[in-house]
Structure 1
Amino acid sequence: MPLTPHPTMLAPAEAYALWAASYPAHAHNPVMQAEERAMLGLLPATLHGQAVLDAGCGSGRYMLHALQRRAARVTGVDLSPEMLEHARAELDGHGYDAEVELRQGNLLELPVADGWADLTVCGLVIGHLEQLEPPLAELHRVTRPGGMVLCSDVHPIGHALGWLRDFKADGQRYAARHTAHLYGQWHAACAALGLQIERVVEPMLDPADIPADAHFDRTALAVPVALVFQLRRTL
């Protein structure tokens, strides 16, 4: 989350259409690296035989992790056709013995059957929606009873400090619209939907991840940068 002077704010679909060409299929900044370490720490060590949904898959980074952990079926859904093309190019280069599918869709109406996923992953996506409960309801719907949902988002502290989901394209700076969802809102929404909060992790930046020449808000070293939830569908 580098400091940047007044980037142009875009709706998520517009932002990722521009961002896709330069968006790697791995955690490519210190905030994402901290978030990913927390998410992978909650991801089961083996997913052998399981169906995994990556909701808001982007360039496919969590799909790749699911495949590495031997998931049998992996489906990625994303709003952006440009990001899906990027994910397809990344996934085509890996010869995993699994059913892999990419579908265009959004978190308010996922193109996945009820209870399809043993594990649903949603990394750094929900903040792109203004309301929290509707996308959580969809993650609940597509996950089987007893299944796990792993969700992450930029920490609300970052939003309060003015951090942006920003990037550069064609020499211009842009940011994707983002809404902070507080822990209390997560707690209330999960309770209403039948999603049990099993673990909450608030990862901090690792100073070793920060390039020596980086220009960023030094406050980021003293606060959590992501909010990560391990949820269980109980109803």
Structure 2
Amino acid sequence: MTDTPLLEPTEAYALWAPHYPACAHNPVMQAEERAMLTLMPAGLAGYRVLDAGCGSGRYMLHVLRRGATRVIGVDLSPEMLDRASAELDARQPGAKVEIELLQGNLEALPLPDAWADLTICGLVIGHLESLEQSLAELRRVTRPGGRVLCSDVHPIGHALGWQRDFKAGGERYAVRHTQHLYSHWHAACAAQGLRIEQVLEPKLDPADIPADAHFDRLALEVPVALVFQLRREP
């Protein structure tokens, strides 16, 4: 059996972007998104929202549906930003909100201090080695008392050998992923002045799994994502 080529995130998403939808498109993402939306405020009127690592814009679309006034998406991949721009243009014609897309690194976000009322970072931090540095930036751009919603692939998946893989040009690839344990999150949040308010560990919904899917059956018995609601201390 040939090993799946392991790519750095910038290379992987350049290949993946043309076919990457602005929605949760696999059972793990669907489980993760249900948990994130449970923690997200139902009404965001008047909020300034940052989507750090916005990808194709799926969470930008969610916050716009909930009434956010100003939304900024930041991503390292220009190809994914192009994808997000196309999705936002197609689904938000004439919307009376301010929307901006910026290229930037999660470890050095191109925003001023305390800009966001709500900061979202969905399934991104696992692409970065330094959890503490990433959380420090998310804290910096969030106003005191503001909320940060973060998710990552559950570390148990990494321990079981699961990969974040995709197909492009008829070939299968995997994206490099760094395992961040709950203990690492707890220590990093404490160091950065981020209070952990809620932690969700969603499992797969069997109804989301296609009948012909080939996957590790153990995935039905363990959590597949780690989802945090954090609060920036005043």
**Do they superpose with TM above 0.5?**
yes
Task: Answer yes or no: is 1:33 the counterpart of 2:44.
Answer: no
Amino acid corresponding to residue 207 of structure 1 in structure 2:
P
Partners in 2 of 1:182 and 1:5 — Cα distance?
29
In structure 2, give the amino acid aligned to 1:25. A
Provide the residue aligned with 1:74 in structure 2: 71
User: C-alpha separation between the residues in 2 aligned to 1:177 and 1:130?
Assistant: 10
Deviation of 1:6 after TM superposition, in Å, equals 1.9
User: Counterpart in 2 of 1:12?
Assistant: 9
Amino acid at match of 1:11: E
- TM-score, normalized by length of structure 2? 0.98
SS of corresponding position for 1:24: coil
1:110 and 2:109 aligned: yes
Correspondence for 1:163: 162
Residue 214 of structure 1 pairs with residue 213 of structure 2: yes
1:205 maps to: 204
Q: In the comparison of the two structures, how many residue pairs are matched? A: 232
CA distance in structure 2 between the aligned counterparts of 1:125 and 1:183, rounded to whole angstroms:
16
Q: What code does the residue aligned with 1:42 have? A: L
Task: Tell me by how many angstroms 1:5 deviates.
Answer: 5.4
Deviations 1:63-117 (A, max 9, x none): 0001000000000000000000000000001132210000000111000110000
Shift of 1:158: 0.3
Q: Does 1:187 align with 2:171?
A: no
Distance in 2 (alpha carbons) for counterparts of 1:45 and 1:136: 24
5+ long unaligned stretches in structure 1 = none
- Structure 1 segments of 4+ aligned residues over 6 angstroms from their partners: none
Distance of 2:2 and 2:74 partners within structure 1: 32
> Matched residues in 2 for 1:82 and 1:27: separation?
18
Amino acid aligned to 2:207: A
CA distance in 1, matches of 2:56, 2:28: 17
User: Partner letter of residue 76 of structure 2?
Assistant: L
The alignment's C-alpha RMSD in Å is: 0.9
Distance (Å, rounded) in 2 between the aligned partners of 1:97 and 1:181: 39
Give the letter aligned to residue 222 of structure 1: E
For residues 141-193 of structure 1, the C-alpha deviation after alignment (integer angstroms, 9 at most, x for no partner) is: 00000000000000000000111110011111111100110000000000011
* Distance in 2 (alpha carbons) for counterparts of 1:129 and 1:6: 22
Amino acid at match of 1:177: R
| One-letter amino acid of the counterpart of residue 131, structure 1 | S
1:85 aligns to 2:82 (yes or no): yes
Q: Aligned-pair distance for 1:138?
A: 0.2
* 2:152 aligned counterpart, secondary structure: strand
Cα distance in 1 for partners of 2:175, 2:192 equals: 28
Q: Secondary structure at the match of 1:49?
A: coil
CA distance in 1, matches of 2:25, 2:161: 20
State the one-letter code of the partner of 1:88. Answer: S
Q: Which moved more, 1:171-180 or 1:199-208?
A: 171-180
Q: Which residue of 1 aligns with 2:123?
A: 124
Q: Percent identity?
A: 74
Structure 1 CA distance for aligned equivalents of residues 42 and 96 of structure 2: 18
Match of 1:161, as an amino acid?
L
AA aligned opposite 1:116 = W
Distance 1:38 1:14 in 2: 29
Can you give the 5+ residue segments of structure 2 that lack an aligned partner in the other structure? Answer: none
Alignment-mate amino acid for residue 122 of structure 2? G
Distance (whole Å) between structure 2 residues aligned to residue 180 and residue 159 of structure 1? 6
Matched residue type, 1:85? D
